[in-house]
Amino acid sequence: MNRRQLLQALGLASGSLFLPSRAHATSPNAVPARRILFFVGGHGTVYDQWRMRPGGLPEDQDWEFALPGLAPSEWSQILAPLQPYADKLLVLDGLAHATSIITATNEHDEGHATCLSGHLPVIVDGGRARPSGASLDQILGSNRTTPFRTLEYTFRGGWSPCFDALGQEVPLEGNPVAAWNRLFPTGTAGLDSTEARVQRNQHRVLDLAAGRFDALIPTLSGADRVKLEAHRDLVRDLESQVLALQDLVCAPIPAPQSQWLDSLTGMATFQDLAVAALSCGLTDIVTIRAGDIDNADIGAPAGNLHNDYAHNAEIDPAAAVVMTSFHHWYAQRFVELLDKLSAIPEGGGTMLDHTIVVWTNELSTGSHAHNDMPIVIAGGSGFFDLGRWVRWAPVSAIDGPWSSPVIGQPHNKLLVTLAHAMGETGINQVGVQNVALDAGGTLDCTGPLDRVCV
């Protein structure tokens, strides 16, 4: 009997799924996943409609329960669509953006900056906040040799959660037609035309351009020089990518008919692009920033989703209904993403087994809280002990300027765990090292989470 079966058996046998927490460090058997896909939402969640407490599990203790075997009625309204993947999921409940809680900026202006970076958000005068270092996707991408180190897509906007090593924003591709063209450039093999000759020699254009940057760089200093060095390196990356795409034969997915797509088609298109890129080895790391949808998509009355509904979801029952529908809609889209990954056989299982899918958010609530982040991991079955809901009770009061929320674990530990899950076991810190506690002292933010790995 493996651990998961044990949990299930205990849960069902006892009439309660409550289990005491156990340390659960990475075992030598853990196999890193090959790829990772960040699915980053907005407006947090409606926590009461997201959380699951089978058997009335207490809020003030660490516990976990098995997801398979839960009756459909026991799934929360928002997460109910995920039930078919119960044995492929790991729900993390009780993590917090401690980094957002301890800074004094408006909390809406910092979730995007810290959710994948783990850094403190830094205010930009007249602009929007950014972190002081890279987000995890970019850290992982810097060590990859795939044609695209990373890909970043946005469906219907939203601020980028991706940042380079200097904490500068990495932009998101929001045009599905352009994104498709980037993945599947027109082949020129065997063609004898001026157009084909121009296409075939694009790498030579980039080689010359990179060389001109080499000539320019020594004439500059300071930040200007750093900027041009980064530019030169990216031109070299593009040169390699152009050559690699000439040799790599990927079966293209159907091209999007327009860059203006309805919500369902648009979301599906970006998912298809992501899955195609991952399955063909064009990249191992994708971020999809999920933006706002039309009120009609979720049957919501007229009004601004952000100002009229998200902000009020905790205090206005009608707004909570709208936002629950919103997050439920995205749960459905998340399941469709898992469907696509599960449909591709790979290594005795499916592509999902070798891909970590992380559904996280820039906030935890529509009113900009950062504790009890709604985090769902799917896939990566060689590394994660899946099929479980893991709760960390709030134990650490953070020294916040507005209040001192009590949190379970800082999300930096999740970011370290994900680095390990992608084979980067040398990474023991992503973002800050610690944050101040209300009672004095600090909360360690380094190292991986326990209780999550096989």
Partner 1 sequence: MTAAPHCGATAYGAPMRTLFLLALVACKSAAVPDSVDTDTPVEVPPTPPPIDPGDCVSDAEQFEISVSPILQGDCISCHVVGGIAEATRHVLHPSTEADHLTHNREVLRPLALEQLDGSSLLVQKALGQAGHGGGVRVALDSPEHDALRELVARFVTPDECDVEVPVETPDVPPSPMRRLTESQLRNTVADLFPGVDLPTFEVVNDPLVHGYDNNASVQAPTALLISEIRDMSLAVTTAAMDDPAAWITCDLDLPDTPCIHDFLLDFGDRAFRRPLTTDEETVFIGFYDAMEALDGDPRAALQLTLQAYLNSGPFLYLPEYGTDPAALPGERVALSDYEMASRLSYFLWNSMPDDALMTAAENGELATEAGIEVQAWRMLADPRAEQSVANFHRLWLELDEIAHIAPDPATYPQWEAGMAEAARDEVDALIWASAFGPTPTLDHLLLDRTTSGDPQLATLYGTGGTELSAAERAGFFTRVGWLGATSHPVYASPIQRGVFVLERMLCVPPPAPPANINTTLPEDDPVDIVTNRDRYEAHSTNPTCFGCHESIDGIGFGFENYDGVGVYRTVDNGEPVDASGQFVTGDLDGTAYEGGVALSTLLAGSESVHACVTRQWYRYALGRSDAPGDEATLADLSAAYWGTGGELPQLLVDIARTESFRTRRAE
Contact set for partner 1, span 247-306 (CB under 8 A): 302-304
385 touches 377 (CB < 8 A): no
End-to-end CA distance of the chain: 14
CA atoms within 13 A on the CB side of 153: 30
- List, in sequence order, every residue forming a beta bridge with 355; answer none if it has no partner: 35
- List, in sequence order, every residue forming a beta bridge with 275; answer none if it has no partner: none
Size of the site for partner 1 (CB under 8 A): 75
> Cα angle vertex 138, ends 137, 142, to 5°?
120
What distance in Å separates the CA atoms of residue 136 and residue 203, rounded to the nearest whole number? 29
Contact window for partner 1 (CB under 8 A) among 44-52, 361-369, 378-386, 439-447: 361-369
Is position 166 an interface residue for partner 1 (rule: CB under 8 A)?
yes
Which of 10, 31, 80, 205 binds partner 1 (CB under 8 A)? It is 205
Q: 3 or 156, CB closer to partner 1?
A: 156
Contact window for partner 1 (CB under 8 A) among 266-274, 314-322, 420-428, 437-445: 314-322
Contact window for partner 1 (CB under 8 A) among 23-31, 54-62, 90-98, 169-177: 169-177
Alpha-carbon Rg of the chain, whole angstroms? 22
Residues 37-96 that bind partner 1 (CB under 8 A): none
Which of 2, 29, 73, 194 binds partner 1 (CB under 8 A)? It is 194
Q: 3 or 144, CB closer to partner 1?
A: 144
Residues 315-354 that bind partner 1 (CB under 8 A): 315-316, 319
Residue 114 phi/psi, 5° resolution? -110, -15
Which of 168, 257, 428, 433 binds partner 1 (CB under 8 A)? It is 168
Site string for partner 1, 92-121 (x = CB under 8 A): ------------xxxxxx------------
Q: 27 or 304, CB closer to partner 1?
A: 304
Is position 244 an interface residue for partner 1 (rule: CB under 8 A)?
no
**Closest separation in Å from C-beta 416 to partner 1:** 25
Which of 59, 84, 143, 212 binds partner 1 (CB under 8 A)? It is 212
What distance in Å separates the CA atoms of residue 329 and residue 331, rounded to the nearest whole number? 5
102 touches 114 (CB < 8 A): no
Residue 356 CB-density burial (10 A; 0-12 exposed, 13-18 middle, 19+ buried): buried
- What 8-state DSSP symbol labels residue 309? I
Residues 397-436 that bind partner 1 (CB under 8 A): 401-403
Is position 311 an interface residue for partner 1 (rule: CB under 8 A)?
yes
- What 8-state DSSP symbol labels residue 81? G
**Closest separation in Å from C-beta 100 to partner 1:** 9
Which of 3, 24, 53, 128 binds partner 1 (CB under 8 A)? It is 128
Residues 6+ apart with CB under 8 A from 155: 174, 266, 267, 270, 288, 289, 290, 291
